Structure 1
Amino acid sequence: MTIGVEEEFLLVDPATRRPVARAGEVLARIDRDALPAGAKVHRELVGTQLEFATGVCDDLPELRDQLLTGRRALDAAARAEGLRLVATGTPVLADPAPPLSRGERFEVIEGIYRGQVADYQCCGCHVHVGVPDRDTAVHVVNHLRPWLPTLLALGGNSPFLLGRDTGYASWRMLEQAKFPGAGVTPFFKDAAEHDAQVERLVDAGVLVDASQTFWLARPSPAYPTVEVRVADTAATTAGAVLQAGLTRALVRTALASDEQPPELDDQVLAAALWSAARHGLAGPGVDPRTARRVPAAELVEALLAHVSDALGGDREPVRSLLRGALAGGTGAQRQRGAGEPGAVVDLLTCIVTESG
């Protein structure tokens, strides 16, 4: 079962430690022939951001190597421009209203959402897992719904915004919640029902087109994959590989299951997602299956038990990465441990190409 990851990053000035809108200059310095086969780099909505997307990978070691190669290429290009690359869900320090990237689609997005995107410098980690068809993708997403908050708790890496500690593990999730239809994906019986709902939102004028939705898991509009985009951009490659390994195991578990997806209350799911964004692994969570408050660590254990049979050859790498996340801290915990905001940015610039 194939896998791939898209990662969004910010460019910062090493003196001011604030994002700078020079994505075009950095991208121009990258030798695309040196990137892994099928990998891509491109700009994002805001001029301070850029993205690296791996090619199609067959296993986690290949994925890890591609992610490291991409991060090192972007970091080297940024340094050649006198800048630094950071992997964080929200900017630790920032000036207001950075310039948006130019392009017809970006201009349409700005026209619809206006001030909502004026300061939106959020960066996520998107995991793609190959599936046979769109109906299968919708079936898989239905099974993923109860586990998306736990993936967020593991992947929270945005505790700071504009120089202040928000008190959240993932402030990016709060920023993303402002968009229409954001959050845990609704239950759909098949791809036709999913696509009809997307078209209704497009016709209502709240989405640019059918390729733009804000649900945290979906059939990819561009690839034969399930796309899960719940986690913040990981501070290190290890965090991204952990998200990918767990997500692929969840997809495999869904495909192997003879049971119907659990019936879940949408408000409880929203509460579980909020709790994961608020506390990460450092506090309580909400179990969407029971609607009960439980320690976040219990939810991680339940996720690991749920996917145990599906991990296969990923078992030891995933367990090792998970032990590292629990012992060394999530991205949010590492950011807070660095101290004042300037030191947080310095830490992020140092660990963005960390291989462990």
Structure 2
Amino acid sequence: MTIGVEEEFLVVDPATRRTAPHADAVLKQVGRLPEGARVHPELLSTQVEFASGVCDTADELRKQLVSGRAELRAAARREKLGLISSGTAVLSGVHVPVTAGARFERIRDIYQGVVEDYQVSGCHVHVGIPDRDTAVAVINHMSYWLPTLLALSANSPFENGRDTGYASWRTVQQGRFPGSGLTPWFGSAAEYDHFVDHLVDCGVLVDHAMTFWLARPSPRYPTIEVRVADAAATVDEAVQQAVLTEGLVRYAQAELDAGREAKPIPDQQAKAAIWAAARHGMTGPAIDLRSGRPVPALAMLAELTDLLGLPEVKVRPRVTGDPAEVVDALMEDL
């Protein structure tokens, strides 16, 4: 089973610690990348993305992420800039223009104020899957555990210098878009595609590639793309998300092979579970989507690792403190 990761980073001015709209300059300085890896601009000109190549093992993925981060960090330094891996902008620049390009400009025109300062960054995990019908059925199973992956990844308490009180403010910001949250239950890839096409026809999505659901069959690759996690501060945390995600895909496939289909999750219950994960991260209550009852987030994580046969995972403490010092620490972590 193959894995890959897309990491989004924010460009910052090391002097002011604020985001800086110079992603294009950083990308032009990027030199040699790992085999199969790529870098891209994002919606806003303060963001860059590194996409790993297709990897067969976690060790191979780790090497790619270490190399990719090092090259992007060096590219930023050549422009006297820095990079941070944070789900939201800790400190924001005054003006954050949309990256040039017809698609990005169309996104701005449709969503208006929602994207004016949409500086959110995620850690997107791709896991190879044999076909799209299997991908949809696997996602139905995975949905029960995605709030736990979100809580574990939470790395965005700040919005422009303000501690929001949420562990993942990125999730709150994403919730303002249509087609966000847990993926609805679908019985086939055709049913999934028909529903997404309907949202595009209604004018609420730019195109078929722009759903904001936290997991989806990739519109470009033969993978499941899981986009639940905040940007990972460190490579270790990004690899940890990838390993857990791959484990969940394997578990879901085993359930399907045994003839056990996932049941639909009530919509409001799904929204509540995502909200709880975004609000508390690993420090408070979670909602077990199987029973609908509140349970400690740490208990959900322990049950997940046991279910997947994985060792205990590292839980990052909630980020607090002076925003400028937080930016400095994130630059150092990268």
TM-score, length of structure 1 as denominator length: 0.91
- Look up the equivalent residue of 1:186 and give its one-letter code: P
Q: What is the Cα deviation at residue 95 of structure 1? A: 2.8
Tell me the residue number matched to 2:99: 101
Q: Write the deviation string for residues 288-320 of structure 1: whole angstroms up to 9, x where unpaired.
A: 111111111111012112222xxxxxx4xxx26
8 Å contact from structure 2 (residues 140, 264) kept in 1:
no
- Look up the equivalent residue of 2:268 and give its one-letter code: Q
Matched, 1:347 2:329: yes
2:242 is paired with a residue of what secondary structure?
helix
Structure 1 gaps, min length 5: 309-314
- Look up the equivalent residue of 1:342 and give its one-letter code: A
8 Å contact from structure 1 (residues 6, 53) kept in 2:
yes
Q: Write the deviation string for residues 163-216 of structure 1: whole angstroms up to 9, x where unpaired.
A: 011011100000000000210000000000000000000000001111111110
Q: What is the Cα deviation at residue 5 of structure 1? A: 0.2
Q: How does 1:47-58 map to 2 (within 5 A)?
A: 47-58=45-56
Tell me the residue number matched to 1:16: 16
2:14 is paired with a residue of what secondary structure?
coil
Tell me the residue number matched to 1:312: none
Structure 1: distance between partners of 2:270 and 2:94: 33
Q: How does 1:177-216 map to 2 (within 5 A)?
A: 177-216=175-214
Q: What is the Cα deviation at residue 234 of structure 1? A: 0.3
- Look up the equivalent residue of 2:27 and give its one-letter code: L
Q: Write the deviation string for residues 132-190 of structure 1: whole angstroms up to 9, x where unpaired.
A: 01101101100111111000000000011110110111000000000002100000000
Q: Write the deviation string for residues 324-349 of structure 1: whole angstroms up to 9, x where unpaired.
A: x23xx24xx1x21xx21110000000
1:229 is paired with a residue of what secondary structure?
strand
Q: What is the Cα deviation at residue 264 of structure 1? A: 2.1
Which of 57, 60, 67 in structure 2 is aligned with 1:59?
57
8 Å contact from structure 1 (residues 18, 94) kept in 2:
yes
1:193 is paired with a residue of what secondary structure?
helix
Which of 37, 49, 52 in structure 2 is aligned with 1:39?
37
8 Å contact from structure 1 (residues 96, 119) kept in 2:
no
Tell me the residue number matched to 1:301: 302
2:294 is paired with a residue of what secondary structure?
strand
- Look up the equivalent residue of 1:297 and give its one-letter code: L
Structure 1: distance between partners of 2:202 and 2:264: 28
Structure 2: distance between partners of 1:97 and 1:118: 9
Q: What is the Cα deviation at residue 265 of structure 1? A: 1.6
Q: How does 1:105-184 map to 2 (within 5 A)?
A: 105-184=103-182
Identity in percent:
56
Structure 2: distance between partners of 1:50 and 1:43: 5
TM-score, length of structure 2 as denominator length: 0.97
Structure 1: distance between partners of 2:28 and 2:90: 26
Structure 2: distance between partners of 1:112 and 1:169: 29
Query: Counting helix residues as a fraction of each chain, which structure ranks higher?
Result: 1
Structure 2 gaps, min length 5: none
8 Å contact from structure 2 (residues 135, 217) kept in 1:
yes
Q: What is the Cα deviation at residue 53 of structure 1? A: 0.2
Q: What is the Cα deviation at residue 97 of structure 1? A: 4.2
Number of aligned residue pairs: 331
1:76 is paired with a residue of what secondary structure?
helix
2:89 is paired with a residue of what secondary structure?
coil
1:114 is paired with a residue of what secondary structure?
helix
Q: What is the Cα deviation at residue 263 of structure 1? A: 3.6
Structure 2: distance between partners of 1:260 and 1:40: 36
Structure 1: distance between partners of 2:264 and 2:295: 20
1:146 is paired with a residue of what secondary structure?
coil
Q: Write the deviation string for residues 200-239 of structure 1: whole angstroms up to 9, x where unpaired.
A: 0000000111111111000000000000000000000111
- Look up the equivalent residue of 1:351 and give its one-letter code: D
Matched, 1:276 2:277: yes
